[in-house]
Homo-oligomer: A and B are copies of this chain.
């Protein structure tokens, strides 16, 4: 461990590139003795606040990206299958994450990665509130059973925690997913992994 600030990893749970980064960032950071703070947001809300269009709005780019998701997953050696009904709404999952994270960040990480793997390899219904509640309870039983977790997901704390994260993302101009910030240096996209590695090694920057 080190006294350095954690690396911020911003993402949306329905973002394929975000999922690919989720499979890679912790191991990379750990090799450099750095911790990672996972910060899911609702990308559409952040983009709207920044007056930016949604990434899949243009059909031309969408066609390319659907091909590139798959190719990038193969390139990184990560299992991937575009889910039916992509992209799913992610507010319940993100709220669930912050509720788990508030009591147990390690369980929250497991919860997040398990949900993304289920979504991006088996098409699990991550938009479904009952599923989210069940996964919360399974990862962190002290939160109570599925019913208790459902109630928590509907509560004010869940909404406030996610709203806070979205506000902070807007302030930090998180204009896409994944968006990784290392000591103030922003890296957008899973294709910046080699640059993040070089940055952590000290061979790339600061300028």
A23 CB, min distance to chain B CBs, angstroms: 17
Size category, A interface: 20 to 34
A112 CB, min distance to chain B CBs, angstroms: 25
A5 CB, min distance to chain B CBs, angstroms: 19
**Stretch in contact with the other chain, from A56-64, A93-101, A143-151:** A56-64
With a cutoff of 8 Å between Cβ atoms, the chain B residues found around residue A186 in the complex are 64, 67
Tell me how many chains of this kind the complex includes.
2
- Contact yes or no, A58 B52, CB < 8 A: yes
- Contact yes or no, B207 A74, CB < 8 A: yes
- Contact yes or no, A173 B60, CB < 8 A: yes
Which of B50, B53, B64, B204 is in CB contact (< 8 Å) with A71? B204
With a cutoff of 8 Å between Cβ atoms, the chain B residues found around residue A75 in the complex are 194-195, 198, 204
- Contact yes or no, B207 A173, CB < 8 A: no
Which of B60, B72, B205 is in CB contact (< 8 Å) with A50? B60
- Contact yes or no, B70 A61, CB < 8 A: no
- Contact yes or no, A192 B195, CB < 8 A: no
With a cutoff of 8 Å between Cβ atoms, the chain B residues found around residue A63 in the complex are 173
In the docked arrangement, what's the CA distance between A177 and B173, Å?
A: 24
Which of B71, B192, B205, B207 is in CB contact (< 8 Å) with A191? B192
Residue A142 is within 8 A (CB to CB) of chain B in the complex: no
A67 CB, min distance to chain B CBs, angstroms: 7
Q: A60-B175, A74-B207, A194-B194 are in contact. List 7 more A-B contacts (CB 8 A).
A: A50-B58, A51-B58, A52-B60, A64-B188, A71-B205, A75-B195, A191-B191
